[in-house]
Chains A and B, each alone.
Chain A
């Protein structure tokens, strides 16, 4: 195998790389999922398992993925099939690595559509389209009719949603086409500082709201922070809380989907990954714990109280973000501006993640098939554009949810477990440790070698088995599926099998081409 990494694109600056990987990690979940999880799982006490799993799961996986990625890049591989083929000398390795392409591609297909809702809502905020709706039910009807789930006086069809999807899609692929340094990195350098600026502005506004309705002194920002942070130590005896914390750490860092590998593959062989990996994880945690925990839940509690906010949160992160937040914005001075900033920050959080999801497939086509970037991005764009039609038009039948569960939830933990075992056991802990520390600006503490070899895979195995028994099997057997949705759920499964088969076929062709 040749070692000619100088032929590949490279990051223009180190801060650009860090912001790009942090942008990949910072997504909608930081601002919508985390506060709900914390409030529902023991408040401040949730932070105990959360930080423990950050240390034994989040940080180690970050370093492992940066390590695999940079190592693969030395051999001109920017995607998991080639990287796994390098660290595991077995014919099966490249096919196992195909999972990294499958997951990132499937998530990109539906995530781009979700991301477009945030762009649409930022437009609806500044134009005050949803202002005056008055209650949570009306706001949910507004959301559902925008998504095409039902018809309402607000939207007769999904044309608005479609227009914003096309705009979001075009921006994503234009950035991907521009490349690593001039596209993804430039986006990160603009979007990430703006995201933090907007979040800080909104967090300050939330913190200064006090008690919006003096007739309900129990509804206040302080009560909102109390809802998230007052610890319920009894909750710690419940294993579900620990699994929720592990899951949150896992989702928030965007590990297990092959995106970090792709970004790290564009590093030079002696570039630092130890400090860069830690910095991206810390940046993500700042966005999640400090900013994400200070906006949606505190503001919702201040206006609607703990009981109503709990109900809203039970409806899921989207109800909290797209139905309850607009209700708040229409109640505060300059709400249209704050609403615009809120949804635009979510859009920035989304787009920095979705371009990362596109990069592994682009890198695969470039590196393994020798395509130029234009052709690689064009091929991916055609595939994603065709695929997203199913997500848009079958949304109400659970098409997106099915993809999200198998690729965006269960698939992540399976891939993370596989990569950890391959890197720390098959490639070997000694070589893996040396790889991760090579060129490091900090020395990774020795205890992490033990953690990565034993604790991280064990935790991943427990999480995977728990999800398998409690969620995956019932979902696979359609235990709680609505009868009307079953054909569409099977459609989603067949669609995913076809995508998986296409990727496996392409991996086979790529290696056949190389051998020839």
Chain B
């Protein structure tokens, strides 16, 4: 039995919900004030880098 209309609806709904949530999340992350390099200048990370 192939993919039926109900199956397509459920698949589309599940994919749609997940797609919407993940798009919202990554959009917010890429556009909010906490930018992508929050901790890059952490003194601890720099110190550990030197040690290594």
Contact = CB atoms under 8 A, between A and B. Distances in A.
Interface of A: 6-15, 18, 43-45, 47, 51, 178-179, 181-182, 218, 220, 222-223, 225-226, 229-231, 268, 271-272, 275-276, 278-279, 282-283, 285-286, 289-290, 306, 373, 441-442
Interface of B: 1-4, 6-11, 13-15, 17-19, 21-22, 25-26, 28-29, 32-40, 42-45, 48-49, 52
10 contacts: A13-B36, A14-B35, A43-B7, A44-B9, A225-B11, A268-B39, A279-B25, A282-B18, A441-B28, A441-B32
Chain B contact residues: helix, strand, loop or mixed: helix
A7 B44 contact: yes
A231 B39 contact: no
A14 B25 contact: no
Nearest to A178: B52
A460 B10 CA distance: 27
A441 B29 contact: yes
B51 to A, nearest CB: 9
B18 A8 contact: no
Most buried by B among A8, A47, A282: A282
Contacts of B3: 222-223, 225-226, 229-230
A12 B36 CA distance: 9
A278 B29 CA distance: 11
Contacts, number: 129
A182 B48 contact: yes
A220 B2 contact: yes
B2 A222 contact: yes
Contacts of B40: 12-13
Contacts of B17: 51
Contacts of B26: 279
B7 A230 contact: yes
A343 B1 CA distance: 29
Nearest to A181: B45
Contacts of B2: 220, 222-223, 225-226
B35 to A, nearest CB: 8
Contacts of A290: 15, 18-19
Given A229-B10, A290-B15, A182 B21 contact: no
B7 A226 contact: yes
